[in-house]
């Protein structure tokens, strides 16, 4: 293509754009037209808007936060655009008199402002197009693309060139009968109009067709994966649970809930099938999934099989081992622990015992996948918080046995719609409730200007014998000048407001041994306040922690806020979570925070999060090797999902397919083979 030299081609390839069709699947983020542009005087605070104006002044400002400011003006008024990151870039970008379209959240501080808006520089031609009523596509802005001149305008030049040169019609794999039944436009028209629509209605019609294709591919992957698993026969078997399992049941220091018992029965029934089990166990934070999984491991041990139990963090693996080692030993089941931080001699001793078959249940982290770790008769693989492991890691552990049974767990409740889509090749067990005795967690949200009162509440809790978490979105200020960072906060609070208390600091860049040592000190009550990033959302069980502050809560999704909340409320005392929001807040952010404060059911929260945010990476879509959803939305496209599932069920039926449907199967299979698709971790 004209305008794509080696430098641009390399950067495009880094973003998965290597062919003309890849670029046609790089859909616009939003559109500019006369009807979508708001005059500056009509802007509303805390609402998103698109404006078009001319640069009247710009420059660097110094203060508490160094920033670059641009005054944008239209015939009705002016607004300030603020940039806190990439200051040198912005210095070179703006010139007086340039015309820009800016899209962002409208705030107010000594006047109207937008912080880091999406920008589209309009030259004379495109400016005329907007004001003439043409709809202009605005593409996602990526810094690497921008550096080689592929701004939204640059990408628009490429897509315009493609459509100008495209003499052929994009082949449509969907049979005409399905197009008619689902009331969808053809593929060529949809791809054309998603980039250059003539009306707003065309945008949505095209998006629905492209969304249908994405969901159709997802459903095909699910059915394909399930079919491959159903033909495997495992080389081991299980008897009905006997005396060993009953003795272990008496070692459990509480009575299982009805939902835990149902989940365990489902798992045992699945283990006794001739094909390998592939089951997802999901439920609330603290709902008691681990005891169900450990009991399943005892069922394996009773049948002279081993279990590999992989956790995402060393602290969590160690916590599982400490909790269950003695209880397992009391019934004659030997367990072991393998962590990267162990000394070489310790690792060798554990690995050799496992290879001999002396260890029935081996707890560990990714250290379990290393080549020196071998199992004598691996029958069951348990993966805790599976979305935190990559496909390759899960596969390596699974390959250490001969078609072992697989149980994956997650504390992120998954809406039924999404579970059927992403985990349709798995059987699903759900623990929706919490064990009796767990106290409800008081949850409130406050704005940052009330922080003094919030800090006083933290002090009162500590004086009463509790401990606190304070969670931050960033490690340090280099990542984003707008947000609070944990390192800066630790420095300020340890020398200021909380200098008479014992503070700890953890984040993802700390070495694992330092991080685990700090967490252990916190659990042993040698730290009063633990300052952290979101690394604490999984794997810490400290019953004495009674309060959590979440800074910049407006930046987190509902599912992640709920996960963080699960770190408190684990002991006998009342616990509180304070979500601290930093204005200006969008209407959507306020909705999310209100919902978080008012709802405690993880499945309701997961459904709301799906509606407000989309699936993102919360559910491990990319780690499963699946395509990124560019057009589909699980929350709003349920009808398309059902239609896509119906088409795929027809393709996998035993009946004879006609030519159009055979072509569709060939297309979907070719696409699937082009990806390393692994659903559910097996």
How do the domains of the chain map onto residue ranges? Answer: 6-169, 181-231+637-673, 243-431, 442-599
Instruction: Give which of 290, 245, 247 is closest to 435, Cα–Cα.
Output: 290
Three-state secondary structure of 246-310: HHHHHHCCCCCCHHHHHHHHHHHHHHCCCCCCEEEEEECCCCCHHHHHHHHHHHHHHCCCEEEEE
Could you give the CA distance from residue 519 to residue 506 in angstroms, rounded to a whole number? 8
Whether the Cβ atoms of residue 467 and residue 459 lie closer than 8 Å to each other: no
Whether the Cβ atoms of residue 593 and residue 579 lie closer than 8 Å to each other: yes
Planar angle of CA 194, 197, 203, nearest 5 degrees: 55
pLDDT digits (tens, 9 = 90+) for 80-117: 999 877 788 888 889 999 988 888 888 888 889 998 88
Write out the two tokens for 657: 């397919």
- Residue 643: Cβ within 10 Å count: 20
Burial 373-384 (b: 16+ CB within 10 A, else e): bebebbbbbbbb
CATH of region 6-169: 2.40.50.140
Q: What's the predicted TM-score (pTM) here?
A: 0.68
Write out the two tokens for 126: 């495109």
Whether the Cβ atoms of residue 225 and residue 677 lie closer than 8 Å to each other: yes
Write out the two tokens for 602: 């993880």
**Helix, strand and coil percent figures for the chain, each rounded to 5:** 45, 20, 40
pLDDT band at 138 (very low <50, low <70, confident <90, very high): confident
pLDDT, greater one: 146 or 347: 347
- Burial (CB < 10 A; 0-12, 13-18, 19+), residue 220, is buried
Q: Domain 442-599: which topology?
A: Rossmann fold (3.40.50)
How many percent of the chain have pLDDT more than 70? 87
Backbone angles phi, psi at 331, to 5 degrees: -110, 10
CA 54 distance to own-chain centroid: 38
pLDDT band at 128 (very low <50, low <70, confident <90, very high): low
pLDDT band at 677 (very low <50, low <70, confident <90, very high): very low
Provide the sign of the torsion angle of the four alpha carbons 483, 487, 493, 496, taken in this order. Answer: negative
Query: 427: part of which helix (H) or strand (E)?
Result: strand 427-431
Query: 118: part of which helix (H) or strand (E)?
Result: strand 118-122
pLDDT band at 623 (very low <50, low <70, confident <90, very high): very low
- The bridge status of strand 467-471 relative to strand 529-532 is parallel
pLDDT value at 326 more than 80: yes
Whether the Cβ atoms of residue 640 and residue 211 lie closer than 8 Å to each other: yes
Report pLDDT for 492: 92
- Residue 262: Cβ within 10 Å count: 15
Q: What is the Cα gyration radius of the chain?
A: 28
Report pLDDT for 675: 56
pLDDT value at 340 more than 50: yes
Planar angle of CA 136, 137, 142, nearest 5 degrees: 135
pLDDT value at 302 more than 90: yes
Report pLDDT for 220: 86
Burial 271-305 (b: 16+ CB within 10 A, else e): beeeebbbbbbbbbbbbbbbbbbbbbbbbbbbbeb
Enumerate residues 6+ apart whose C-beta is below 8 A from 197: 31, 135, 203, 206
What three-state secondary structure class fits 666?
A: helix
pLDDT, greater one: 309 or 659: 309
Report pLDDT for 418: 65
Distances (CA, A) of 312 to 228, 364, 387, 410: 28, 9, 9, 11
Mean pLDDT confidence for 314-325: 88
Report pLDDT for 682: 39
Whether the Cβ atoms of residue 413 and residue 605 lie closer than 8 Å to each other: yes
Could you give the CA distance from residue 569 to residue 587 in angstroms, rounded to a whole number? 29
pLDDT digits (tens, 9 = 90+) for 194-250: 999 988 899 999 999 999 998 898 888 878 777 666 677 888 999 999 999 999 999
DSSP state of 505: E
Look up the CATH superfamily of 243-431: P-loop containing nucleotide triphosphate hydrolases (3.40.50.300)
Three-state secondary structure of 407-460: EEEECCCCCHHHHHHHCCCCEEEEECCCCCCCCCCEEEEEEHHHHHHHHHHHHH
Whether the Cβ atoms of residue 471 and residue 551 lie closer than 8 Å to each other: yes
pLDDT band at 680 (very low <50, low <70, confident <90, very high): very low
Whether omega for the bond prior to residue 593 falls within 30 degrees of 0, making it cis, is no
Report pLDDT for 467: 95
Q: Does the fold of domain 442-599 match that of domain 6-169?
A: no
Instruction: Give which of 368, 376, 429, 379 is closest to 406, Cα–Cα.
Output: 379
Alpha helix (H) residue ranges in 428-571: 451-463, 486-495, 512-523, 558-565
């Amino acid at each position: 293509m004209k305008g794509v030299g080696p430098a641009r081609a390399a950067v495009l390839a880094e973003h998965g754009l290597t062919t003309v069709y890849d670029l046609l699947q790089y859909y616009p983020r939003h559109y500019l037209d006369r009807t979508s542009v708001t005059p500056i005087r009509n802007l509303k605070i805390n609402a998103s808007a698109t404006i078009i104006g001319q640069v009247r002044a710009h420059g660097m400002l110094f203060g508490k936060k160094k920033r670059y400011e641009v005054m944008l003006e239209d015939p009705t008024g002016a607004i300030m655009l603020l940039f806190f990151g990439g200051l040198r870039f912005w210095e070179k970008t703006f010139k007086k008199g340039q015309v820009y379209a800016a899209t962002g959240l409208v705030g107010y501080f000594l006047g109207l402002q937008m912080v880091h808006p999406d920008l589209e520089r309009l030259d004379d031609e495109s400016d005329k197009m907007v004001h003439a009523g043409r709809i202009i596509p605005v593409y996602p802005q990526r810094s690497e693309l921008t550096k080689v001149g592929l701004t939204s305008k640059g990408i628009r030049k490429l897509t315009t060139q493609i459509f100008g040169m495209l003499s052929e019609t994009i082949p449509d794999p969907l049979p005409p009968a399905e197009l008619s039944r689902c009331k969808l436009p053809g593929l060529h028209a949809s791809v054309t109009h998603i980039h250059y629509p003539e009306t707003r209605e065309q945008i949505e019609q095209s998006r629905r067709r492209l969304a249908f294709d994405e969901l159709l591919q997802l459903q095909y992957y699910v059915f394909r994966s399930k079919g491959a698993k159903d033909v495997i026969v495992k080389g081991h078997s299980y008897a009905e649970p006997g005396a060993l399992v009953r003795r272990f049941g008496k070692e459990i220091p509480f009575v299982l809930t009805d939902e835990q018992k149902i989940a365990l029965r489902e798992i045992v029934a699945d283990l006794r099938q001739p094909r390998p089990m592939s089951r997802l166990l999901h439920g609330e934070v603290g709902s008691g999934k681990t005891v169900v999984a450990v009991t399943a491991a005892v069922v394996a041990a009773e049948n002279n099989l081993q279990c590999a139990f992989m956790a995402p963090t060393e602290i969590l693996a160690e916590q599982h081992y400490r909790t269950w080692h003695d209880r397992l030993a009391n019934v004659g089941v030997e367990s072991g622990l393998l962590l990267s931080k162990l000394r070489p001699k310790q690792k060798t001793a554990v690995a050799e015992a496992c290879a001999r078959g002396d260890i029935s249940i081996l707890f560990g982290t990714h250290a379990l996948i290393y080549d020196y770790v071998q199992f004598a008769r691996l029958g069951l693989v348990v993966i805790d918080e599976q979305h935190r492991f990559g496909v390759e890691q899960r596969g390596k552990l699974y390959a250490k046995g001969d078609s072992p049974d697989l149980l994956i767990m997650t504390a992120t409740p998954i809406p039924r719609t999404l579970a059927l889509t992403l985990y349709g090749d798995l059987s699903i067990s759900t623990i929706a409730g919490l064990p009796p005795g767990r106290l409800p967690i008081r949850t409130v949200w406050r704005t940052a200007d009330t922080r003094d009162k919030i800090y006083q509440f933290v002090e009162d809790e500590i004086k009463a014998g509790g401990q606190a978490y304070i969670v931050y979105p960033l490690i340090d200020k280099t990542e984003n000048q707008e947000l609070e960072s944990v390192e800066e906060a630790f420095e300020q609070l340890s020398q200021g407001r909380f200098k008479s208390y014992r503070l700890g600091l953890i984040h993802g860049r700390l070495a694992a041994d330092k991080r685990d040592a700090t967490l252990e000190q916190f659990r042993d009550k040698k730290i009063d306040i633990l300052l952290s990033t979101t690394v604490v959302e999984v794997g810490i069980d400290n019953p004495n922690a009674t309060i959590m502050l979440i800074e910049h809560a407006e930046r987190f999704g509902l599912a992640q806020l709920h996960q963080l909340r699960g770190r408190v409320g684990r002991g006998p005392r009342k616990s509180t979570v304070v979500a601290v929001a930093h204005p200006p807040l969008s209407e959507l952010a306020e909705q999310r925070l209100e919902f978080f404060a008012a709802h405690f059911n993880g499945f309701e929260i997961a459904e709301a999060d799906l509606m407000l945010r989309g699936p993102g990476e919360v559910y491990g879509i990319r780690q499963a090797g699946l395509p990124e959803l560019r057009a589909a939305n699980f929350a709003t496209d349920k009808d398309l999902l059902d239609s896509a599932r119906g088409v795929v069920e027809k393709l996998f039926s035993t009946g004879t397919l006609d030519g159009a449907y055979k072509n569709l199967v060939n297309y979907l299979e070719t696409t699937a083979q082009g990806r390393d698709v692994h659903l559910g971790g097996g």
